[in-house]
């Protein structure tokens, strides 16, 4: 068992599951989407990104790229949230669809990342 | 490739600090959001993520704008207290890591490599690579810099490179410390570049020299490799590799010595090629008679060969500097036993003594001892490092052969004036009488210092002449040697050699030689004559004057000429 593999695998998969948890639910009903879950998804995504840093292989670079995509999408959705709630002051309901769809984009990137990660693990003989 | 390395070093070092920051920040933010506070109206509220993130950011960086949006409750303060400790520590840890990273030796060296390779990449002029920075190459760099040549230096030792950078050579010499015999380093120094003209390898270790020469040959087929070799076997070996410029210092000294003793006029010309002063004193002529050589190493053997070739009697004292030092426990020659040895070798009736050991101090003391026994003896010393020059000067030795200087002189000529070097090779095939004629004509021409220079008849170096020749004109050397002040007179200029497009050389071409485009000329002249000559070949008007004896009229002058003609009618 490789401790590093456990840690990075844990965070990569957790990033995906948290992201899914946030996105899951009616897109028009904001009660289905918890802000805490978005926060957790962002933090875990950041951690996953940092863990992927420094791998010089081809696969490592692509993994890093997927993580960066997810980060950007999640940050964008958080920014939309903050702006619509505190800056524009028109309530969350009108931007709910935008926030959730941005997060779903991040989910796709996270899924790609997990698939690549699994593929690499299956290929490894040790 | 190198900038990538820098990125990887930074990323790898910053991983942990980044993780620490992310985790401490997120814990603090989450706590602030979850713990209920009380607003101004006494209602319970929950801090939102934006406020929490804002608060934690200025808290962790110790900016501290205060408690927002409302004054905190005790529960919140307890949490903030805890957060301060974890996030401030995390933040400082990250900054500390960044600072150590900047001082990281590996990172610094990668940054230097990246800077160096960028400089080499942007270098558009011709340049030469010199391996190793020592007395010889320092002298060489000074000579080449004076000719405005661009130089790249690699040395294994960073201290040497620092020393070089303090010298402030102009134009800038690019230098880096790296492993010398690795192909990566040579490539980094630009050996594969088209404008890299030569690589100069002058280490004391023949084996190392050959290895690098071979490597350089493989990396660039066209490059001129100038390599030092101190034995005949090694020279042979290098020749088989197809390397033409081989510097064998002992051979060079022996050659020069042979010329000095058997053909003083050729020797005089050789010294002229190397830019020495021309007024030769009486004591500089080598006497004929019995010679004594002290030290029978590579140098001693080479000298013996030239003495044999010149039919001069000589005897030996087989003295090895290392063995001598071990035996006598001192670096000085000259106890009673040593004197006896000198007398036995016949110092009393010899005309000259050569001290040719590897140790400068022993050489000096040998000559002193010989002078004590026979005050009239002519002393010749081998000086191994340029550094000892002041000692040798004050010791009043009649002739000193400085190995490092001779190497540097030869390499300098090879790089900056290949035609002069070729002339030198031709010179060695000639007789003393041939040399006497040339020497006489040079001496009768002028008392001033003679300058030596090379010109190639191409647009860049001889604008007007090339244009004229390309338009079908023809001109011979006699015309080109005319004085600009008065066309009927000849300037103080001698054409030593011409090399044409087919690489054929003509020694001392006569005045009827027709100059062709892309000929290369080796010229000896006074400074004034050189200026004249350069004007003639570059300036249309001056060339016209030399060809016709008339001034070329242009623009408004032509108009005046017309009026003048009309007036004449």
The CATH number for B36's domain is 1.10.287
CA distance A31 to B330: 97
pLDDT higher than threshold 70 for residue B569: no
| B242 and B277 fall within a common domain | no
Q: Hey, what's the torsion of the CAs at B497, B501, B502, B504, to 10 degrees?
A: 0
Q: How far apart are CA B391 and CA B400, in angstroms?
A: 11
Phi, psi of B133 (to 5 degrees): -115, 110
**Residue B276 pLDDT greater than 80, yes or no:** no
Report the residue of chain A nearest B11, measured CA to CA: A54
Chain B residues near residue A50 by CB distance under 8 angstroms: 15, 18-19, 22
CB contact under 8 A, A35 and B18: no
Q: How many domains does chain A have?
A: 1
- Search chain A and give the residue with CA nearest B20: A47
Q: What is the pLDDT of residue A45?
A: 95
pLDDT, average across residues B268-287: 75
Mean pLDDT of B243-268: 88
Pair (B273, B409) in one structural domain: yes
Does residue B123 sit in helix, strand or coil? coil
Contact assignment for B33 to A56 by CB distance below 8 Å = no
Tell me if B221 sits within 8 A of B272, measured CB to CB. Answer: no
Q: Is the domain of B404 the same as that of B354? A: yes
Provide the β-strand partners of residue B247.
B228
**Are B88 and B219 contained in the same domain?**
no
Of the ranges A98-107, B269-278, B380-389, the best mean pLDDT one: A98-107
Residue B66 domain-assigned (yes or no): yes
Report the CATH number at residue B477.
3.30.70.1450
For residues B362, B366, B368 and B371, what is the CA-based torsion angle, rounded to 10 degrees? Answer: -170
Residue B429: the pLDDT is: 87
Distance CA B16, CA B23 (A): 11
B26 interface with A at CB cutoff 8 Å: yes
Phi, psi of B551 (to 5 degrees): -85, 140
Nearest in space to B521 (alpha carbons), one of B453, B461, B466 = B453
Q: Does A72 score more than 90 pLDDT?
A: yes
Mean pLDDT of B19-39: 93
> What residue in B sits closest to A35 (Cα-Cα)?
B49
Residues B432-467 pLDDT 10s: 888 888 888 888 888 788 888 899 999 988 999 999
Average pLDDT of B269-296?
79
CB A117 within 8 A of CB A12: yes
Mean pLDDT calculated for residue range B134-141 = 92
Gap from A43 CA to chain B (nearest CA, Å): 7
Burial of B1 (C-beta count, 10 Å sphere; 0-12/13-18/19+): exposed
Residues from chain A that touch B18, judged by Cβ atoms under 8 A, are: 50, 53
Position B390 scores a pLDDT of: 80
* B505-507 sheet: strands from edge to edge: B451-456, B520-525, B493-499, B505-507
CB pair distance less than 8 Å for A54 and B30: no
Per-residue burial over A18-51, b = 16 or more CB atoms within 10 Å of its CB, e = otherwise: bbbbbbeeeeeebeebebebbbbbbbbbbbbbbb
Q: What is the pLDDT of residue B393?
A: 80
- The structural domain count of chain B equals 4
CB half-sphere exposure, B487, CA atoms < 13 A: 12
- My answer on whether B317 and B353 are in the same domain is yes
Chain A CA closest to residue B6: A54
Tell me how far the alpha carbon of residue A14 is from its chain's centroid: 9
Residue B455 domain-assigned? yes
Distance in angstroms (rounded) separating the CA atoms of residues A2 and A115 = 19
Is some CB atom of chain A closer than 8 A to the CB atom of B49? yes
Residues spanned by the domain of A12: 3-123
pLDDT tens readout for residues B319-335: 887 787 778 777 778 78
Residue B542 in domain:
yes
Structure-token match 């890591």, residue found: B97
- CA-nearest residue of chain B to A57? B8
Asked if the structure places residue B563 within a domain, the reply is no
Q: What is the pLDDT of residues A87-126, one digit of tens each?
A: 887 777 788 889 999 999 999 999 999 999 998 888 876 5
Claim to verify: residue B375 and residue B275 sit in the same structural domain:
yes
Task: Give the per-residue pLDDT at A95.
Answer: 85
Q: For position B3, what pLDDT does the model report? A: 59
Residues of A at the B interface (Cβ-Cβ below 8 Å)?
A: 35-36, 39, 43, 46-47, 50-51, 53-54, 56, 78, 82, 85-86
Determine, for residues A50 and B30 on separate chains, whether the beta-carbon distance falls below 8 Å.
Answer: no
pLDDT band at B281 (very low <50, low <70, confident <90, very high): low
Average pLDDT over residues B155-175: 91
Using CB atoms, pick whichever of A43, A50, A78 lies closest to residue B15: A50
- The answer to whether B8 contacts A46, with C-beta atoms less than 8 Å apart, is no
Q: Which domain holds residue B212?
A: 124-247
pLDDT confidence bin for B555, thresholds 50/70/90: confident
The domain that contains B156 carries what CATH number? 3.40.50.720
User: What is the arithmetic mean of pLDDT over B468-477?
Assistant: 89
> Is residue B544 located within the same domain as residue B472?
yes
pLDDT for B126: 92
Q: Do B30 and A46 touch (CB under 8 A)?
A: no
């Amino acid at each position: 068992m490789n401790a590093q593999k456990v840690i990075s695998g844990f965070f990569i998969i957790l990033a995906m599951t948290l992201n899914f948890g946030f996105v899951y639910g009616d897109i028009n009903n904001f009660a289905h989407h918890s802000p805490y879950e978005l926060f957790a998804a962002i933090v875990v995504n950041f951690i996953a990104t940092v863990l992927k840093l420094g791998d010089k292989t081809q696969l490592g670079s692509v993994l890093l790229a997927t993580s960066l995509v997810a980060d950007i999408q999640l940050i964008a959705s958080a920014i939309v949230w903050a702006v619509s709630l505190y800056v524009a002051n028109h309530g969350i309901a009108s931007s709910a669809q935008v926030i959730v769809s941005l997060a779903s984009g991040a989910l796709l990137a996270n899924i790609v990342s997990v698939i690549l990660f699994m593929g690499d693990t299956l290929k490894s003989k040790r | 490739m190198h900038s990538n390395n820098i990125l990887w070093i930074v990323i790898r070092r910053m991983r942990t600090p980044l993780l620490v920051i992310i985790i401490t920040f997120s814990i603090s933010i989450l706590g602030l959001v979850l713990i209920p506070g009380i607003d101004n109206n006494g209602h319970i509220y929950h801090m939102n993520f934006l406020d929490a993130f804002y608060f934690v950011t200025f808290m962790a960086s110790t900016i501290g704008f205060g408690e927002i949006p409302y004054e905190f409750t005790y529960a919140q303060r307890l949490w903030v207290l805890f957060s301060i400790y974890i996030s401030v520590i995390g933040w400082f840890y990250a900054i500390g890591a960044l600072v150590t990273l900047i001082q990281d030796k590996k990172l610094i060296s990668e940054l230097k490599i990246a800077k160096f390779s960028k400089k080499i990449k942007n270098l558009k002029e011709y340049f030469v690579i010199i391996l190793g920075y020592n007395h010889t190459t320092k002298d060489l760099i000074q000579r080449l810099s004076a000719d405005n040549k661009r130089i790249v230096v690699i040395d294994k030792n960073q201290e040497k490179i620092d020393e070089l950078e303090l010298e402030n050579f102009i134009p800038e010499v690019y230098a880096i410390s790296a492993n010398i015999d690795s192909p990566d380093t040579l490539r980094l120094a630009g050996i594969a570049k088209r404008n890299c003209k030569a690589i100069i390898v002058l280490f004391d270790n023949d084996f190392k020299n050959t290895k690098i020469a071979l490597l350089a040959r493989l990396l660039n087929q066209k490059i001129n490799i100038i390599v030092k070799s101190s034995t005949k076997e090694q020279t042979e070996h290098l020749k088989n590799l197809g390397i033409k410029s081989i510097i064998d210092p002992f051979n060079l000294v022996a050659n020069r010595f042979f010329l000095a003793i058997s053909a003083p006029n050729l020797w005089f010309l050789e010294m002229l090629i190397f830019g020495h002063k021309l007024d030769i004193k009486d004591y500089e002529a080598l006497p004929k008679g019995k010679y004594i050589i002290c030290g029978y190493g590579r140098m001693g053997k080479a000298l013996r060969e030239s003495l044999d070739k010149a039919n001069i009697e000589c005897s030996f004292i087989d003295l090895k500097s290392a063995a001598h030092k071990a035996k006598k426990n001192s670096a000085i020659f000259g106890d009673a036993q040593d004197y006896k040895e000198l007398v036995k070798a016949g110092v009393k009736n010899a005309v000259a003594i050569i001290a040719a050991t590897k140790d400068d101090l022993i050489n000096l003391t040998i000559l002193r001892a010989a002078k004590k026994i026979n005050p009239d003896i002519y002393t010749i010393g081998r000086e191994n490092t340029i550094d000892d020059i002041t000692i040798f000067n004050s010791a009043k030795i009649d002739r000193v052969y400085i190995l490092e200087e001779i190497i540097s002189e030869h390499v300098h000529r090879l790089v900056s004036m290949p035609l002069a070097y070729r002339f030198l090779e031709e010179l060695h095939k000639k007789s003393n009488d041939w040399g006497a004629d040339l020497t006489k004509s040079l001496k009768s021409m002028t008392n001033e210092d003679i300058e030596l220079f090379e010109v190639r008849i191409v647009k860049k170096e001889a604008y007007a002449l090339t244009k004229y020749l390309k338009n079908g004109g023809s001109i011979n050397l006699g015309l080109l040697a005319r004085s600009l002040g008065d066309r009927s007179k000849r300037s103080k200029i001698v054409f030593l050699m011409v090399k044409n497009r087919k690489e054929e050389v003509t020694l001392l071409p006569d005045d009827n030689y027709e100059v062709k485009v892309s000929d290369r000329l080796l010229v000896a002249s006074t400074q004034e004559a050189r200026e004249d000559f350069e004007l003639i070949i570059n300036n249309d008007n001056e060339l016209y004057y030399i060809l016709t004896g008339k001034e070329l009229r242009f623009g408004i002058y032509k108009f005046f000429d017309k009026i003048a003609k009309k007036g004449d009618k």
